[in-house]
Chains A and B, each alone.
Chain A
Amino acid sequence: MTHPMRTNTSRRSFLGAVSGLAASAIVPSRALPLATSLAGMAAMATQSSHAATTGGYKALVCLYLSGGSDTHNWVVPVDASGYAEYAKARGELAWGAQQLQSITAANQGSGRSFGMPLELAPLRDLYEAGQAAIVANVGPLVRPITRAEYTAGIGIPAKLFSHNDQASTWQSLATEGAPSGWGGRMGDVLMSANANPVFTAVSASGNAVFLAGNQVSQYQVGQEGPVVVNAMNGSTLFGSSSASMALKRAYSASATDRIQQEYARVMQRSQAANSILQTALAGVNVPAIPSTAIAQVNAGPTTLDKLSLARQLRMVMQMIAANQALGMRRQVFMVQMGGFDTHNGQMRDQPTQMAQVAQSIGYFMSALTALGLQNNVTLFTASDFGRTLLSNGDGSDHGWGSHHFVVGGAVKGRQIAGQFPNTALGTANDIGSGRLLPSLGVTQMASSLASWMGLSSSEQQIVLPNLANFEAGPTLF
């Protein structure tokens, strides 16, 4: 396949960036401390992006709900006929009307109104405060298609309904095996604005194609922060004063074996970034996660401060709070929570999951506000796919379009962007079993987010190769 990124512009910037890297970062000299290899990375910042150099600090955070979240149950019609349709279509998967709290949504047609389950209250509060918007029925599209085209097999995205492929498509616009994601490609454009380009794309939840760039490597931080290698930071090891130096030397030396070489290169990055990050993080003071009680499925209650998602978000917030110390202007982050593949036990599991997500986002936004950074950060949710409206008896199966949230002080909140379909079987958006044909492409949602990050339309074409197939994205800011 011809890679869509290989435009003249991107090739030029790629070559420029590589020549900066080759000087010192790939093969650090044995004589130099590992930390100086970052200077090579900083050399990549020679090329200026007009986009990123205007305006203050901005960070985009992807909150990935792994497994395919059933968002039919996150945003629910509450007007009499809308709710009746929903209850009929979902059967045992429908929330009772008393479990739903109404929200303000003016632009979805007269007589229509919507609500969110009580467990999502912190997210609903942000929505009502104008700091969160809902993006209705968004999903991967190559170009906009009609149900007739879908039925005729025209213009359908590859490998729909497949976890690994659709997770990859949401994150990269291509099926599994994609070399880069749109978060990483945004980083390619933006990294030159950062004094420490190594922290341009940061994952607090392991490796994700979303943050893989063509020049940017995602930096993966532990949810408790950078990991110190004890043996490289002490003087003697088991009474030997040479072992620590020998180990550092082994990780700095170039190797003929390619796997060994690459493994060592990751360690070099780790060590170089650690010293910089630890210094920067020491200077920030981020509000602690409250010990709010949180229900858990199949386990006793826990508290928010013990929840992985909240801790990942706190780590991200620490890095955001350190943006000036690190000389960062544009960053893309990823956090993740699993367990959303609700083929069975959906009504048992969803309340807990929604509470965990909403409480974590609530903490994130209130802490950012305390730091005065709420307008500099936008968080959005994403997931493998939406699910079937139709119940399988105990849960729902793999679908396509779904409803997502965009949260932040800069967001034009208290609105449902896009067209919220009728929550019923047999509608113009139903391709079978209540799988929604998306009315907005992921590309369009990504384009709106990229605009906020400052990417020009030509830069967006690089990041989102099929952008020209779509109308403008939703007005989210």
Chain B
Amino acid sequence: MFRYKNPDISAAGDQLIDTLPMKAYPGMHSPSEKRLFAGKPQAVTMPAGASAQADLNTALDALFNHPNVGPFISRQLIQHLVASHPSPGYIARVAAVFNNNGKGVRGDLGAVARAILLDAEAANPPAGSVGKLREPVARVSHWMRSLAATSASGQYAINSDLEPLGQRPYYAGSVFGYFRPGYVPPNTTFSAEGITVPPMQIVNEATTAQWVNLAQRMASTGVGSTGTQFDVVASLQPLADMVAAGRLDALIDHLNLLLYAGRMSTSLRQDLMEAMLNVGGTDAEAHLNRARVAVFLALASPEYMVQR
């Protein structure tokens, strides 16, 4: 994804540079001595005359072995997987596993993921802690998986629908991503306590409104308009069949399980039920509309934004 200056990528096999592992180009390399972390305990000197590949290996090893890496990566992984504002203790427990998986191996990401997901703070969040805000890409992916969405083109054309939400896939506005790990929403109850909520950085007056409009398409036409059709369409017929069989409670249970992990509030359940009962008619289209309105309210509700 990143390249510095303008290496000659004409060699066979180099054209797909953006998808290949990082590679050293000797012609772009200075043979002078290089020092990393000079004056620090982790100082590393790369002697003059070393090859580009040797210097690259030394530099990557020096970065990988820096003691800040464990806490740095652990905090961000926890933020993406479990909670926006993990406690220092949680980060320390995960970082310890990054540093040593118990068998003397540093950087075992499988062990790190296990430590994150099985930590007591993940299973039983302390009172007053915050979970995490479901980011737009995760919402759309969640909808696609939960309701067996299919793509007519096979390309899952969701980019143009996610752009107004501030999260066009593979197209972050900055090399640092869509939002920053240290983001504290200003002027909120979070800022008073210095609580980080990174995905809140792309929540604003425009994106909150856009999400509800997108949820309406997700619950009906599908997304990824090509002008004549929609590329990604959810399978709502099984839900409509439940309606037709009079199983409205079961439909709500189904959405509660798939979209809310069983945590849908009583008042939202009532809203879904009321909205479905409010649709007139007994034909197939009416049943489908009942399914649509239930899916819409489940996706558009502010309750859906929270993962914990």
Q: How far is the CB of A395 from chain B (nearest CB, A)?
A: 7
Instruction: Using known A-B contacts A164-B176, A246-B275, A260-B303, determine if residue A266 contacts B205 with beta carbons closer than 8 Å.
Output: yes
In the assembly, what is the distance between CA of A270 and CA of B207, in Å? 9
Q: How far is the CB of B295 from chain A (nearest CB, A)?
A: 9
Please tell me if the beta carbons of A247 and B300 are within 8 angstroms of each other in the complex: yes
Please tell me if the beta carbons of A250 and B268 are within 8 angstroms of each other in the complex: yes
Q: C-beta contact mask, A340-366 vs B, less than 8 Å → 1, else 0?
A: 010111000000000000000000000
Please tell me if the beta carbons of A179 and B191 are within 8 angstroms of each other in the complex: yes
Please tell me if the beta carbons of B187 and A214 are within 8 angstroms of each other in the complex: yes
Q: For window 198-249 of chain A, which residues contact chain B by CB distance below 8 Å?
A: 206-207, 209, 212-217, 219-222, 226-232, 237-243, 246-247, 249
Please tell me if the beta carbons of A231 and B278 are within 8 angstroms of each other in the complex: no
In the assembly, what is the distance between CA of A212 and CA of B297, in Å? 32
Residues of B within 8 A of A394 (CB): 5-6
Determine which of A179, A243, A253 lies in contact with B278 in the assembled complex, contact meaning CB atoms within 8 Å. A243
Please tell me if the beta carbons of A393 and B187 are within 8 angstroms of each other in the complex: no
Please tell me if the beta carbons of A179 and B184 are within 8 angstroms of each other in the complex: yes
B88 within 8 A of A: no
Residues of B within 8 A of A239 (CB): 278-281, 286, 289, 293
Q: For window 261-281 of chain A, which residues contact chain B by CB distance below 8 Å?
A: 261-267, 269-271, 273-274
In the assembly, what is the distance between CA of A395 and CA of B28, in Å? 14
Instruction: Using known A-B contacts A257-B131, A260-B302, A260-B303, determine if residue A273 contacts B205 with beta carbons closer than 8 Å.
Output: yes
Residues of B within 8 A of A270 (CB): 204-206, 208-209
Please tell me if the beta carbons of A231 and B303 are within 8 angstroms of each other in the complex: no
Please tell me if the beta carbons of B186 and A212 are within 8 angstroms of each other in the complex: yes
Residues of A within 8 A of B185 (CB): 262
Residues of A within 8 A of B189 (CB): 258, 261-262
Q: How far is the CB of B52 from chain A (nearest CB, A)?
A: 15
B190 within 8 A of A: yes
Q: C-beta contact mask, A386-397 vs B, less than 8 Å → 1, else 0?
A: 000000111100
Shortest Cβ distance from A212 into B: residue: B186
In the assembly, what is the distance between CA of A255 and CA of B253, in Å? 22
Determine which of B204, B208, B278 lies in contact with A241 in the assembled complex, contact meaning CB atoms within 8 Å. B278
B292 within 8 A of A: yes
Residues of A within 8 A of B301 (CB): 247, 250
In the assembly, what is the distance between CA of A395 and CA of B207, in Å? 36
Residues of A within 8 A of B278 (CB): 239-243
Q: C-beta contact mask, B149-189 vs A, less than 8 Å → 1, else 0?
A: 00000000000000010100000011110001011111111
A180 within 8 A of B: yes
Please tell me if the beta carbons of A237 and B293 are within 8 angstroms of each other in the complex: yes
Q: How far is the CB of B273 from chain A (nearest CB, A)?
A: 10
Please tell me if the beta carbons of B271 and A343 are within 8 angstroms of each other in the complex: no
Please tell me if the beta carbons of A177 and B205 are within 8 angstroms of each other in the complex: no
Please tell me if the beta carbons of B279 and A260 are within 8 angstroms of each other in the complex: no
B235 within 8 A of A: no
A283 within 8 A of B: no
B296 within 8 A of A: yes
Q: C-beta contact mask, B122-155 vs A, less than 8 Å → 1, else 0?
A: 0000000011110000000000000000000000
Please tell me if the beta carbons of A262 and B204 are within 8 angstroms of each other in the complex: no
Instruction: Using known A-B contacts A229-B213, A246-B275, A255-B303, determine if residue A343 contacts B5 with beta carbons closer than 8 Å.
Output: yes
Residues of B within 8 A of A219 (CB): 205
Additional A-B contacts beyond A231-B212, A267-B302, A344-B4 (5; CB < 8 A): A219-B205, A221-B205, A239-B289, A263-B203, A344-B6
12 example contacts (A-B, Cβ-Cβ < 8 A) are as follows A180-B186, A209-B186, A213-B187, A219-B205, A220-B206, A221-B206, A222-B206, A227-B213, A243-B278, A257-B303, A259-B133, A259-B306
